[in-house]
Amino acid sequence: MVIKEKLQKAINKQINAELYSSYLYLSMAAYFESMNFKGFAHWLQLQANEENQHAMKFYAYVIERGGKVVLTEIAAPKAEWKSPLAAFEEVYAHEMKVTSLINDLMKLAKDDNDFATESLLKWYVDEQVEEEANALSIVEKLKLIKDSNNGLFMLDHELGGRK
Ligand code: OFO
């Protein structure tokens, strides 16, 4: 069954949101690179790649359901943050926003009785739980670390090990 116009439009919008997430995290990676925090930068670069995969999963789905992907302009992300903590607080806030976008899509799919889209979105609902938890755990560590250079270097090392 071909995907309905309204849902197709909403998923296209979500593709843009996922690509924006990717762009935002890549910009944060560049910010950490500029401060020589290679581990934070590595973590964020992998996160940017993941966001790109989230977009591509929706991309493939729209096509599979006989719809058309329409790409729109991606907003420019910020380039500077006032501290590592400020950057990761933004990651966490951004992920909560994305969760609410996914929840809105789920409501739309349910209203349409589009069970296939519901099934796809279930994957994103679960993924968001993980995304929020990962961001929050880094925020909490950064809060404990405060201004300790030692702590920052240790966390940088830890995040550099992300596979
Ligand atoms: Fe796509 O999960 Fe983050 O934004």
pLDDT tens per residue, range 143-152: 999 989 999 9
User: Cβ contacts of residue 72 below 8 Å, gap of 6+?
Assistant: 12, 16
Residue to substitute in 20, 131, 138 for testing ligand 1 pocket (most ligand atoms within 8 angstroms of CB): 131
**Phi/psi of residue 70, each to 5°?**
-125, 115
What is the predicted pLDDT for the residue at 131?
97
Kindly give the number of the ligand 1 atom that is closest to the alpha carbon of 50. Answer: 1
**How many residues in the chain?**
163
Tokens 């006989």 sit at which residue?
66
The CATH number of residue 16's host domain is 1.20.1260.10
Q: Are 16 and 10 in contact (CB under 8 A)?
A: no
Q: How many domains does the chain have?
A: 1
Q: Is the CB of 90 under 6 A from ligand 1?
A: no
What does 90-141 look like in DSSP terms, one character per residue? Answer: HHHHHHHHHHHHHHHHHHHHHHTT-HHHHHHHHHHHHHHHHHHHHHHHHHHH
How far apart are the C-alpha atoms of 37 and 160, rounded to whole Å?
Answer: 9
How far apart are the C-alpha atoms of 72 and 16, rounded to whole Å?
Answer: 7
The closest of 53, 65, 67, 66 to 15, measured between CA atoms, is 53
CA of 125 relative to ligand 1 center, distance in Å:
10
The per-residue pLDDT string of the chain (163 residues; one tens digit each, 9 = 90 and over) reads: 899 999 999 999 999 999 999 999 999 999 999 999 999 999 999 999 999 999 999 999 999 999 999 999 999 999 999 999 999 999 999 999 999 999 999 999 999 999 999 999 999 999 999 999 999 999 999 999 998 999 999 999 999 999 9
Write out the residue range of the structural domain in which residue 42 sits: 5-160
